[in-house]
Amino acid sequence: MAQPVILLDPSRSLKDIIVAGGQTLPEGTVLTRTVTASTMTVTPGATNTGDGVIAGIAAHHRVRAGRYSVRITGVIQTPEERWELFDLKNPDGHVIGGGIVGQAFESGELSFTVNPGSLAFAVSDRFEIDVTDVIEKFEPLDPTETDGREIAAAVLRTDTDAMGGDTTASAIVCDARLYSGRLVWPAGITAEQTAIALADLSRAGLITD
């Protein structure tokens, strides 16, 4: 970039990314990450008491390759109703959300519904979701979207011509100080949307001055 960029950890700060085809982007473009394809395999626990299934599974903007785990964590029973509760852990083993059997669940990584079967679930019943073949691409931030494309994730390092199709380019993805005057924002972005995007970049370790 034309102005100084301090890469606090060059081995981590820069990453080769795929820029989605059909566009020409200048250096400094604020980018968002999209997941364009993935394969997800659901395996129920061998000792599950319940015989329900996971249906309608879909990947979202923060999904990663690896094994996710769904575990029944509790059961609430009243004379009229029964609720079976679950949580979702990501491949690092961190809980990223929870839900209720029979109701749609969505996070920034996966969405699905744990459907009940003829046999009720018990605490510690589980499913493993193996996510493979994750293909991520980057495109300009779009603050008007609500599907993850409104989340800033990186800054393009060099001018990139992707008019002929998907193109590999260098991006700054973490641990860097950037000159804010060189960031390229989408047309019409508001001050509030810019502040939100800068906060997104900050959480990734991209600090502007």
Residue 81 has pLDDT above 50, yes or no: yes
Question: What is the 8-class DSSP label of residue 29?
Answer: B
d(CA 108, CA 120): 28
- Decide the pairing of beta strands 104-106 and 126-140: unpaired
> Does residue 184 share a domain with residue 118?
no
* Final residue of a structural domain among 133, 158, 187: 133
What range defines the domain where residue 106 resides? Answer: 38-133
Same domain assignment for residues 47 and 30 = no
Cβ-based neighbours of 121, under 8 Å, separated by 6 or more: 48, 49, 50, 52, 72, 75, 84, 101
Tell me the two tokens of residue 171: 């991006």
Residue 4 has pLDDT above 60, yes or no: no
**128, 42: one domain:** yes
Same domain, 139 and 127: no
Task: Indicate if 124 and 141 belong to the same structural domain.
Answer: no
What pLDDT, in 10s, does the model give residues 90-140?
999 999 999 999 999 999 899 999 999 999 999 999 999 999 989 889 999
Same domain, 79 and 163: no
Each residue's pLDDT tens digit, 14-71: 999 999 999 999 999 999 998 876 799 999 999 999 999 999 999 988 898 999 999 9
